[in-house]
Amino acid sequence: MKLSKTADLIIIGAGIVGCSIARELSRYSISVLVLEAGFDVGEGATKANSGIIHAGFDAIPGTKKALYNVKGAEMYPSLCKSLGVAYKQCGALVIALSEDDRRTIKALLNRGISNGVKGLEIIEKDEVLRLEPNINPDTVCALYAPTSAIVSPYEVAFALADDAACNGVEFLFNERVNNVSRNNEGYCITTDTTQYNCHSFINCSGTSGAKIHNMISDTKLFSINRRGQYYLLDKLKELPFSRTIFQCPSTMGKGVLVSPTIHGNTIIGPTAEDIADPDDKSTTKEGLADIVIKSRRIWPNAYFQNSITNFSGIRSHLESDDFIIGEIDNASGAFEVIGIESPGLTSAPAIAEDICNEIVNRFHLEHKKAIVQYKCPNRSFGEMSDIEREQAVISNKLNGNIICRCEMVTEAEIRAAINRPIKAKSIDAVKRRTRAGMGRCQGGFCTSRIMSIITEETGLSPVEITKSGGDSYLLMGDLTEFLRSTDNE
């Protein structure tokens, strides 16, 4: 028999959009529950994208993508400041390699101006090469977008979720939604273990968005699972590019790009592969080879010997080629934010603001009398000056114990990450909150020590700890059990 639980409103999905909406709604007198199929916040497209806050020149004027891209991009500087996460306005270039491409660049300029993007201009070859000496010398011209920026998408999502949790939103993980149906109170949402009853819900479930929509609506949607693979290169003293470099876009998206990351790596990708399985986040020989070939149109001397990892993510593409946002037709109280592919990261705070306002007005919600002020994480030890590090060790001696040498992550930082409002209970959950294991050795030296700290902080047995939830266990048993089993043979 399934357990039963009730909330005023349920958000399905804890990606960047779901977390943004949860934070907005946490300011009102309403009980909010977030159901996430994964083991942690941001397990879908949020953790596996380029991390770019797009300026807004690519989206077709008049679409929801255009509206929310530009509005969201303008919100990010103050949002990141309030959450204590890094934001860098590095700018972007879209390069033209032929006179035909120049026509595309001019069209993007006009599109961007129509969308309200500020500062756009076309610059010629000499200026492009002056700004980015490693760029393809065959470049004819480029669209320069100075307002383009970069963030760490999962760090933004963690901070949003923590803020929401501090203000009463409950997050539940490993809760994949199997069915949504109507009942006398509103809606019944069923997972493998529990039956959830709510007056209203918001479908922010990424690749499951169309599936859940079709459970409620007579107007059926079809979602395409589009996989994007990436290379992540090791940090260098001097990055090859200081800005995000795009090629001219195609019908499959913005194409393979080369960009700095907020933490000083270089990211290259993504591919655009339509696949059947929404959970197939594998990387392939063919996909990675495609990135190498296409990236050299931007960076002819690109080298991949210093690649430290490859990864992929799945974004949901709808046939309408636009976001679907709002209340589902003939389903009072059922809202959806689906088809959120690029520029979804950029658009998330603006989408959240609008959908929240719609719900507040619809249900006449009142502001809470008191909001818990979110406490931003401390600046990372690895980014501190020597004097700041000395003070950090004085204030907490565990900062003197470096667990991850590649990224200079301390024991104090790892313990703090495990005990954030949304707790980190896996190796990858700690990694994405602290960067421990994200450096050159990819956890080769620090994983065992991180496991020990998780055990100490959570009470989990070492054999219960996973890399990323599910069955990704790192240990099969202890030595005593092994020796006992061999004695019996």
* Residues facing 244 on adjacent strands: 92
Active-site entry in 54, 213, 263, 317 = 54
Decide if 371 contacts 167 (C-beta within 8 A).
Answer: yes
* Residues facing 309 on adjacent strands: 232
CA distance 337 to 343: 13
CA distance 414 to 392: 14
CA distance 364 to 160: 24
* Residues facing 124 on adjacent strands: 141
CA distance 349 to 75: 7
Output the CA torsion 148→150→151→154 (10° steps).
100
Decide if 96 contacts 104 (C-beta within 8 A).
Answer: yes
- The number of C-alpha atoms within 13 Å of 59 and in the hemisphere containing its C-beta is 27
Contacts with 442 (C-beta within 8 Å, 6 or more apart), sequence order = 308, 309
CA distance 304 to 236: 13
Write down the H helix ranges in 296-403: 344-363, 386-395
**For this structure, is 54 an active site residue?**
yes
Characterize the bridge pairing of strands 92-96 and 149-151. Answer: unpaired
Characterize the bridge pairing of strands 244-246 and 273-275. Answer: unpaired
Closest CA to 154 of 69, 243, 70, 263: 263
> Tokens 């100075």 identify what position?
146
Decide if 101 contacts 142 (C-beta within 8 A).
Answer: no
CA distance 244 to 261: 9
Q: Which amino acid appears at position 327 of this protein?
A: E
Contacts with 448 (C-beta within 8 Å, 6 or more apart), sequence order = none
Decide if 12 contacts 175 (C-beta within 8 A).
Answer: no
Residues with catalytic annotation?
54
